[in-house]
A = this chain, B = another copy of it.
Amino acid sequence: MSAESRPELRIGVAGLGTVGVGVLKLLEANGGLLAQRCGRQLRVTAVSARDRNRERGVDVSQATWYDSAEAMASDNAVDVVVELIGGEDGPAKALVEAAIANGKSVVTANKALIARHGNALARAAEDKGVNLSFEAAVAGGIPIVKVLRESFAGNRLSRIYGILNGTCNFILTQMEENAAEFDEVLAEAQRLGYAEADPSFDVDGVDAAHKLAILASVSFGRPVDFDSVHIEGIRQVSALDIAYAKELGYRIKLLGIAGLTDHGVEQRVHPCMVPENSPIAHVAGVYNAVVVEGDFVGQAVFEGQGAGAGPTASAVVGDLADIARGQRVPPFGVASDSFQTLPAAPMPRHRGPYYLRLKVLDQPGVMADISAILRDHAVSIESVLQRGRSPDDAVSVIMTMHETEEAAMTAALSGIKNLSAVLEPPCMIRIEHF
């Protein structure tokens, strides 16, 4: 078991951005420790990036340089390829496919790639008998993929949900703390580097949806099914909603939720009101959290940094340690030919309670009209909140609904929207009682 008795694991790293450099720094800083833990050395023998001359603060002079990442996949001095290029197609996909085809294991932090092409890549990796590992693709600081695939292997999972996008959580936390609106907080987040110049990938929920699709596949043993994820972002959340949520005993979080329902596996990403005493309500700033519910383990909660060079590098190297130790499980926890054939639950069949905020003219009959529409769609009102009456002025009406079906709520909303006394499109936020 000594570190010298087994040949070194030779690693090719493609993509030397923040995360790639983080991986190199980790391997440099903790290489001795890793060798003790894995019983062999881990060594970077090849690297690839766009600009060879950029100063990165790490020494890659001992590694073979590739201008083309894909060429690395043919290097006989590389046992495992670490793909940190990003993007669901293009050079990242070409590299991963070529590496697997050449019998090399792959570690990637690329959630888009796995969410979009994970099934084909997993099947290829299984056929070749190599690892395809993507712990770093989902909530880097939380080792949730391994936990689902290995630690909780004895459980039938019923639900998994979490805060999967640190940028959105940072923005919502700031909006709450400063009673600020989305646009101003987004601008601040961009200034601080917590949000990209083009923030749509994060704030529109796509990034969280990629991660949720991966988690759902590993949790429920079915093919990754990104196209079935219902996705809404946080642009529509207003400071007013956050304030009303607080008054009602909730906080607003962008959650990804996947669960077994009577209609199949539901996967949805959208702003949620969560009870302020639930563990997930307290997860602030750029932290991620994941909650897992299984039939034997009960509820387990995991919290950690979702992104950043350190946590992501930690996840990449955890996967490398598995490979160095000769550990391999199917990428999604079960072999592709053992996947379940559970259908995707359609969003209109979702059931839950709802929050509704309406801007209405304060005139006789408005509440009667709204209530009648809700009644006609069998939507049952739980509470109504209206403050300050000023006849013929606009007032906010806040309503919460008992559990109802999404389709009924959608139909009622289009009726309400058309009332002449309703001045702007209703704001609807789903309530989750964990």
Which A residues are closer than 8 A to B by beta carbons? 1-3, 22, 26-27, 29-30, 33-34, 36-39, 126, 135, 140-143, 146-147, 149-156, 221, 279, 282, 294-305, 308, 310-311, 313-318, 320-322, 325, 327, 329-330, 333-335, 337-338
Verify A143–B151 contact, CB threshold 8 A. Answer: yes
CB contacts (< 8 Å) of A140 on chain B: these are: 297
* A335 CB contact (under 8 Å) in B27, B39, B141: B39
| Contact partners of A303 in chain B: CB under 8 A | 279, 300-303
Once the chains bind, are A152 and B296 in contact (CB under 8 Å)?
no
- Pick the residue among B27, B29, B299, B304 that contacts A300 (CB under 8 A): B304
A297 contact from B153, B297, B310, Cβ within 8 A: B310
Which of the residues B1, B29, B314, B320 comes within 8 Å of A126, measured between beta carbons?
Answer: B1
Q: Are A295 and B29 in contact (CB under 8 A)?
A: yes
Check if B314 sits within 8 Å of A155, measured CB to CB: yes
Closest to A1 in B: B335
Partner of A296, one of B314, B320, B325, B333: B314
Given contacts A154-B313, A302-B302, A318-B154, contact A1 B330 (CB under 8 A): yes
Q: Are the C-beta atoms of B3 and A33 separated by less than 8 Å?
A: no
Say which residue of B2, B150, B297 sits within 8 Å of A146 (CB atoms).
B150
Q: Residues of B contacting A279 with CB < 8 Å?
A: 282, 303
Contact partner of A153 (CB less than 8 A), chosen from B282, B300, B305, B321, is: B321
Residues B321 and A150 in contact, CB atoms below 8 Å apart? yes
CA–CA, A318 to B335, complex, Å?
Answer: 17
Q: Are A338 and B2 in contact (CB under 8 A)?
A: yes
Q: Which residues of the partner chain B approach A310 to less than 8 Å between Cβ atoms?
A: 295-298
The quantity of this chain's copies bound in the complex is 2
Say which residue of B30, B320, B327 sits within 8 Å of A155 (CB atoms): B30
Residue from the list B282, B301, B322, B330 in contact with A302, Cβ < 8 A: B301
Minimal Cβ-Cβ distance residue in B for A319: B151
Q: Provide the bound-state CA to CA distance between A154 and B82, in Å.
A: 15
Closest chain B residue, CB of each to CB of A39? B335
Asked whether, in the complex, the Cβ of B334 is within 8 Å of the Cβ of A30, the reply is no
Contacts of A150 in B (CB 8 A): 143, 146, 318, 321-322, 325, 327
Distance A354 CA – B396 CA, assembled complex (angstroms)? 50
CA distance A303 to B315 in the complex (A): 20
In the complex, what residues of B have CB within 8 A of residue A37's CB?
149, 153, 221, 333-334
Q: Is the CB of A305 within 8 A of B314?
A: no
Closest chain B CB from A65 CB (angstroms):
24
Q: Bound complex: CA of A314 vs CA of B297, how far in Å?
A: 6
**A330 to B40, alpha carbons, bound, how many Å?**
13
28 residue pairs from A and B, CB less than 8 Å apart: A1-B337, A2-B337, A30-B154, A30-B155, A34-B153, A36-B338, A37-B153, A141-B298, A143-B147, A146-B146, A146-B147, A147-B147, A150-B321, A150-B325, A151-B315, A153-B317, A154-B313, A154-B314, A154-B317, A154-B320, A279-B282, A297-B305, A297-B310, A299-B305, A300-B303, A301-B301, A302-B303, A327-B329
Inter-chain pairs besides A146-B146, A279-B303, A298-B305, 17 sampled, C-beta below 8 Å:
A30-B155, A30-B295, A33-B221, A141-B300, A146-B151, A147-B151, A150-B318, A150-B325, A154-B316, A154-B318, A279-B282, A297-B304, A297-B315, A298-B310, A298-B311, A300-B305, A301-B302
Q: For residue A365, give the distance in angstroms from its CB to the closest CB of chain B.
A: 46
| Inter-chain contacts of A26 with B (CB < 8 A) | 154, 296
The distance from the CB of A306 to the nearest CB of chain B, in whole angstroms, is: 11
